[in-house]
Copies of this chain bind each other. A is one copy, B any other.
Amino acid sequence: MKTQPQGASASAEGAVLGTRERVVRAASRLFQRRGYEGTGIKLIAQEAEATLGSVYHFFPGGKEELAVAAIQHADREFAEMLNAGLARSDDPAVAVEECARALASALRESDWADGCPVTATALETLGRTPSIQQACLEALRNWQDVLAAKFLASGFDGQEARELACTVLSALEGAEVTSQVFRSEEPLLTTGRRMAQLIDSRT
């Protein structure tokens, strides 16, 4: 295994990823699929094709620091997905339904494994690992902001936009869990349709 200079743009398309980036991505996906406690550092290293030494070199804070980085990575990734979905229509109701559809497809394609990338970790560490809880909080707030911006741009006032964003995000998160447990796209699709109905029923 040769030393990999992590030079060049880390986000360049198709670029060979540096060790640190590979570790973060592996950690992010494993935490998403098996939770924080259920994922061992050695498994992360193995999955990332790195060694334990490398992991602790880049994350001297250990598992906790790695989890924070993994959640921040998931934050950016999911925000991009949200933005892409929302951009598919000017009508916010249609756009939200489009997002639900995209989530449902991705979920099915991963055999119901890749749900919300922070929920599992958040629930396990709540009230016991402040740094991780903080990272989860920032991710949720970021996604709410993305939704709220869409609603604002569609003519909703600030209060209304924030409340709708909070509701829609919570509903999508819950529906994702439900879809995973039922191994069916239906909860996500139904929730998407009803959220569209809610958005259209503005007072």
Alpha-carbon distance between A136 and B182 when the two chains are bound, in angstroms: 9
Residues of B within 8 A of A194 (CB): 163-164, 167, 198
Q: Is A190 an interface residue (CB 8 A)?
A: yes
Instruction: Encode contact with B along A132-161: 1 for CB under 8 Å, 0 otherwise.
Output: 010011001000000000000000000000
**Which of chain A's residues 12-49 have a Cβ closer than 8 Å to chain B?**
33-38
Minimum CB–CB distance for A182 against chain B, Å: 6
Q: Given known contacts A113-B127, A124-B120, A198-B197, is B173 in contact with A169 (CB within 8 Å)?
A: no
Contact status B119-A123, CB under 8 Å: yes
Q: Is A178 an interface residue (CB 8 A)?
A: yes
Q: Given known contacts A115-B123, A175-B174, is B181 in contact with A167 (CB within 8 Å)?
A: no
Alpha-carbon distance between A35 and B31 when the two chains are bound, in angstroms: 13
Q: Is A90 an interface residue (CB 8 A)?
A: no
Interface of A, helix, strand, loop or mixed by DSSP: helix
Residues of B within 8 A of A193 (CB): 163
Q: Is A85 an interface residue (CB 8 A)?
A: no
A-B pairs, top 6 by smallest CB distance, nearest first, are A174-B174, A170-B174, A173-B174, A37-B37, A37-B38, A201-B201
Residues of B within 8 A of A112 (CB): 126-127
Contact status A197-B187, CB under 8 Å: no
Instruction: Write the chain B residue with the least CB distance to A127.
Output: B113
Contact status A181-B137, CB under 8 Å: yes
Contact status A122-B174, CB under 8 Å: no
Q: Is A191 an interface residue (CB 8 A)?
A: yes
Q: Is A111 an interface residue (CB 8 A)?
A: yes
Instruction: Write the chain B residue with the least CB distance to A128.
Output: B34
Q: Is A50 an interface residue (CB 8 A)?
A: no
Alpha-carbon distance between A31 and B128 when the two chains are bound, in angstroms: 14
